[in-house]
């Protein structure tokens, strides 16, 4: 059975951006036989997003096996400065969502993307210039 981690990794290697259409197409081709048309696949995708959103809004940690963990976290009120005037501002407290990648996905991404990222750079990352 193909997992959503397999779909994610194979799509990341194939395209530059991964969007809703790519995810829905991956659901249709995952081999389950239960999602056989785009409308049903989109409904499954929307249901997944709704469930994740509800869990995060209620303060729960969302674990996605072989992908990672989404954790709602409180960012405290803090001071900042206005970039143009330099005035001191109070930045209000807010809730953010942190993502922690799973070890399984981290191990799979390293060899899959390292060559691609090195090929995309204009310089040799491994070359160390000495002065």
pLDDT tens for each residue of 11-65 = 555 556 677 787 777 777 765 556 667 788 888 888 888 999 999 999 999 999 8
Nearest residue to 67 (alpha-carbon basis) of 39, 48, 82 = 48
The beta strand positions in the chain, using DSSP E, are 62-64, 68-75, 78-81, 88-91, 94-101
pLDDT in tens, 54-98: 999 999 999 998 889 999 999 999 999 999 999 999 999 999 999
Residue 51, classified by CB atoms within 10 Å of its CB into exposed (0-12), middle (13-18) or buried (19+), is exposed
Least confidently predicted of 42-51, 67-76, 101-110, 119-128: 119-128
pTM of the model: 0.63
> Can you say whether the dihedral through the CA atoms of 68, 106, 66, 35 is positive or negative?
positive
Give the pLDDT of residue 35.
Answer: 63
Vertex 106 angle, CA 47 and 34, to 5°: 30
Within a 10 A sphere around the Cβ of 24, how many other Cβ atoms? 20
* 126 pLDDT higher than 50: no
Give the 3-state secondary structure of residue 21: helix
The model's confidence at residue 129, banded by pLDDT at 50, 70 and 90, is very low
Q: How many alpha carbons lie under 13 Å from residue 52 in its C-beta half-sphere?
A: 15
């Amino acid at each position: 059975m193909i997992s959503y981690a397999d779909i994610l990794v194979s799509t990341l290697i194939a395209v530059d951006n991964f969007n809703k259409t790519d995810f829905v197409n991956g659901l249709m081709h995952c081999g389950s036989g239960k999602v056989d048309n785009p409308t049903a696949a989109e409904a499954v995708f929307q249901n997944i997003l709704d469930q994740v959103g509800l869990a995060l809004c209620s303060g729960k940690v969302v674990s996605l096996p072989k992908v990672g963990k989404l954790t709602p976290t409180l960012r405290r009120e803090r001071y900042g400065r206005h970039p143009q005037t330099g005035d001191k501002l109070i930045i209000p407290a807010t809730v953010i969502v942190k993502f922690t990648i799973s070890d399984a996905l981290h191990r799979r991404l390293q060899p899959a993307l390292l060559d691609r990222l090195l090929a995309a750079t204009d310089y040799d990352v491994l070359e160390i210039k000495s002065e």
